[in-house]
Every structure is written in structure tokens, then in C-alpha cells.
Amino acid sequence: MVSFIIPSHGQLYIEYESVNSAEEIQSITKTLVLPPLNGTEVVINYQQGNNMTRGVLIQYEGEFVPFAKQPPPKSYLIWEILGPALVIVLIGLILFSCYYYRVRQKEKQLNFIIEVMKDQKRFSPEEIEELKEKRDEFTIIKKNLKIYYEFPLGQGASSLVYVGFIYGKSPLMVTTGLIETQRFQDCKVAVKVPSSFGQDETKQLFREIDSMKKIGYNENVICMLGICFLDEKPVIAFELADKNLLSYVRTLRETILGQIQTPVNIFFSILWQIARGMQYISSKNIVHRDLAARNVLLTDSFNAKISDFGLSFCTDLEENSSSSTPQKLPVKWLSLEALLDMVFSEKSDVWAFGVLIFEVFSFGAIPYKDVVLKDLVEMLRNGDRLECPKAANEKTYEIMRSCWQENPEERPTFEQLSERFREMLKSTTMAYGYVEGSK
């Protein structure tokens, strides 16, 4: 028995074995003329007399047509083409629906504050649009941020700060992709919650968001991890620090009086880090306008981080350095040109840095404590400056004085200040990193 496929028609030569009466096996070749079978599988049995034969195909002559399966029905071909296309369309619809849902949720979350703006009639359409534009890749999904209102961290003029927790990856980690930001996932955070939404407070919120986006990540700046809308209010999540510089140096006051020693190596390290952070901020064309010891945060390992950018502005986004001046400014930290003409620049931040140095070495003393504010400008114009703290040496006070030059161009840059404190830090070892304080 032979089974084979006939691709067309022609002559088929079969060789088979036959057993004769003497039980001898003979090899016989037989030619079959076949009708057109057109690719049909056939089984041919050969029988000679009473003996069955076993045959094998040895040759086929005729028109050769390669064997192929029967073509599928047209309906099958249509689905074979349309099927993948429909799957792609379905996936696209699902993705679009998810995106549309998220956009609608964000729109819904902003309705409250936008309606407040419209009702108060104190905001232009441009300002309302500005708030909408703050929703971008820095937005935190509501379910991914939890605020622990029972654990407040601090309070400002227009906001409260609480301990919070981010679930999953923070927007800063996703947008930067830096190794240094990998820790900002499933972590504790500081959440800044505005307590009022007046015109000044809203603009202050805009400034802070704009500045923090531009800064991104820097080891000496408190980083914004994302923005979220909770209970119809925009809140900002920041990396969490342990304490602020002002409270730290004030806690040293009693210790220093007891030990009569000042940890200048720690002070120099902190000031060097602040200068480096301000150098980076200035390179981004940002003026802080509120640099003070209260706005510098510290980790347990004394990493200094500059915070609170509510009064900051971007020089490349403002028409000039005196535009958009807020109503409330830290008068005792302002430079002379800022007090007189409301002109702000890197050099006005340098002036404030000099006051910050005074705060550190005076263990948190209030600058110009006995000076009436209305007399401050005249005092500064006459060349009077803060006195040298008892814990500061001459070199440190020289740096302070250089920051308070009346002409902004004569003040050092933050790059120069960073280098000076780096050299002072190098010369101060742990063994000799103390100087005598006041008794």
C-alpha cells in the first residue's frame, strides 16, 4: 500500500514487490495513468492474483505543480486583516480613555480654587490659566499622597507644613532619572498646605512651583517632589529634613556657654554648602529673596539644604529684577538697593548670606535687634553694619563685610564665597575645629 499526494495529473510509476507461486519475491514496475487529482491525497492498493503488493513511488511524469493548501475562505482573510487593526484601535481607545479620565480628574480638582478666583474677581483670566498650567509631569495622583495632619512640622505666614508619605515613585524621581533621586519613592515627605488663597499667596505659590521645577535636584536645595490637589487645594510635597539652621544654632547657645567652645568646622561646612547651593540657584537665573537661617534645613548628618522659595523669582521670566515685588519682605535681610529701589539680583542674595553668617556665629541672634526699621536704611547708607559676633574670627567677619558692600558689583559671587569657605574648612580639622566662645 502506498500513500502519496498527487499535485496534478500524468503518469505515475510504482515499484512494488510480488510473491509468485514459488514464493520468490519479484520486483515489478508498473505505470499508472492518473486523472487530474489536483493535490488530493490518494492511497493506492495493488493486488496481483491472491497476493497483496507493497509499492513505493519511484517516478512521476507530468505537469508539476507544487502542493499547496486550499486557499482559506474570503471571510477568514478579511478577519485576518481586520483583526489586528481592531485590536490596535481597541488598545488606543483604552489608553485614550485612561488619559482623558486623568485629565478630567485634574480639571475637577482645580474647580474649587478657580471658582474662588472668579468669585473674588481679583484675578485675571491669564492668572487663572497660569494655575491650570501647573498641572504637568510633576502632578502627584491624589491616592499616592497621604498627609498626617496630627504631625505638623511648622507654620509660615500663609501655609502649614505636615509630615506626609508618597506611595510609589515621586514625580521628581521619574522626571530626573538620577541615581540621587531614587530614594524619593515610598518615603516620608514634608507637605506644604496653603492656609489662604489671596492674590499674594497664590502668586507666591506660583513662584515657588516655577522655581522648584527649574531647580530640579541639587544636594544643597530642598527639592520639590511633586504637586497634588487634596480637598480641592494645591499642596506641594518636599523632601523631608530634620531641623532648620536657626533652631540648631539656638540650641547651641546654652551648650556653648557651658563648654565655651564653638564647632566652627560644622559652621564652615554648613556655610560652604549654602554658598554652593546658592551658586547653583543663581546659575538657574533664580533670585531667592528670602535667604536666612530659618530657611536653611539640616539633615542629621549636617547636610545643608536651602528651602522656602515663595518669594523667589526667575530673572529670565520677569521683565526686570524689581517686578512682581511681594508685599511682605524680610526687611532686615534686604540689601541697600533692595530697600531703596526694590532691585533684586544674585548680589542682593549675597547680602542676605552675610546676615545669615551673622545669625550662625551669634547663635541665632536677631539682626539689628535694637534698630527701629524706619532708621535701618539711613544707618546702612551711613556705612553702619552689624557688629562682629564674639564667636566669629576676623576672616569670617571680613567675609560678612564683603557681602555688605554698598555697591553690588563689589560684593563677591556665590562661587567665590563657596571657594573661600571651602579653603577655611580645609584648614579646620576635627582636632582643632573649635574656638572659644563668650563666657
Q: What is the pLDDT of residues 279-320, one digit of tens each?
A: 999 999 999 999 999 999 999 999 999 999 989 988 876 544
What's the predicted TM-score (pTM) here?
0.68
Task: Copy the grid coordinates of residue 57.
Answer: 513511488
Q: How far is CA 313 from the centre of its chain?
A: 20
* 346, 279 Cβ separation under 8 angstroms: no
Burial 362-384 (b: 16+ CB within 10 A, else e): bbbbebbeebeeeebeeebeeee
How many angstroms separate the CA atoms of 373 and 284, rounded? Answer: 32
Q: Which of 119, 231, 290, 341 is catalytic?
A: 290
Strands 159-169 and 40-44: unpaired
How is 365-393 classified by DSSP, letter by letter? Answer: PPTTTT--HHHHHHHHHTT--PPPPTTS-
* 289, 344 Cβ separation under 8 angstroms: yes
Which one-letter DSSP state was computed for residue 13? E
How many angstroms separate the CA atoms of 293 and 352, rounded? Answer: 10
Maximum alpha-carbon separation in the chain: 142
Q: Phi and psi dihedrals of 150, rounded to 5?
A: -80, -5
Looking at residue 254, its amino acid is E
Tell me the sheet residues that pair with 164: 147, 189
Looking at residue 34, its amino acid is L
How many angstroms separate the CA atoms of 352 and 312, rounded? Answer: 13
Hey, is 245 helix, strand or coil?
Answer: helix
How many angstroms separate the CA atoms of 68 and 46, rounded? Answer: 27
Hey, is 314 helix, strand or coil?
Answer: strand
Hey, is 140 helix, strand or coil?
Answer: coil
Tell me the sheet residues that pair with 55: 16
Residue-level pLDDT, tens digit, the chain, 439 residues: 444 444 444 445 444 445 444 444 454 445 555 554 444 444 444 444 554 444 444 444 444 344 344 455 555 556 667 777 777 878 878 877 766 666 565 555 555 445 544 444 445 556 555 555 555 788 999 899 999 999 999 887 778 999 999 999 999 999 999 999 999 999 999 999 887 766 677 778 878 888 999 999 999 999 999 999 876 678 999 999 999 999 999 999 876 554 556 788 999 999 999 999 999 999 999 999 999 999 999 999 999 999 999 899 888 765 445 545 666 789 999 999 999 999 999 999 999 999 999 999 999 999 999 898 889 999 999 999 999 999 999 999 999 999 999 999 999 999 999 999 999 998 885 434 444 444 3
**Could you read off the pLDDT of 220-236 as tens digits, one per residue?**
999 999 999 876 678 99
Q: Phi and psi dihedrals of 221, rounded to 5?
A: -135, 135
How many angstroms separate the CA atoms of 136 and 170, rounded? Answer: 13
Residue 151: predicted pLDDT: 93
* 237, 226 Cβ separation under 8 angstroms: yes
Residue 7: predicted pLDDT: 44
Answer yes or no: 300 catalytic: no
Residue 129: predicted pLDDT: 55
Residue 273: predicted pLDDT: 97
* Residue the block writes with cell 522626571: 175
DSSP H or E run through 194:
strand 185-194
DSSP H or E run through 430:
none
Hey, is 200 helix, strand or coil?
Answer: helix
Residue 180: predicted pLDDT: 94
Task: Copy the grid coordinates of residue 391.
Answer: 564667636
Give me the helix-helix angle, 414-426 and 394-403, nearest 10°: 170
Alpha carbon distances (Å) from 419 to 269, 283, 328: 12, 16, 33
- The residues, any chain, with a CB within 8 Å of residue 54's CB and separated by 6 or more, are 1, 2, 16, 17
How many angstroms separate the CA atoms of 118 and 125, rounded? Answer: 9
* 344, 287 Cβ separation under 8 angstroms: yes
How many angstroms separate the CA atoms of 75 and 173, rounded? Answer: 51
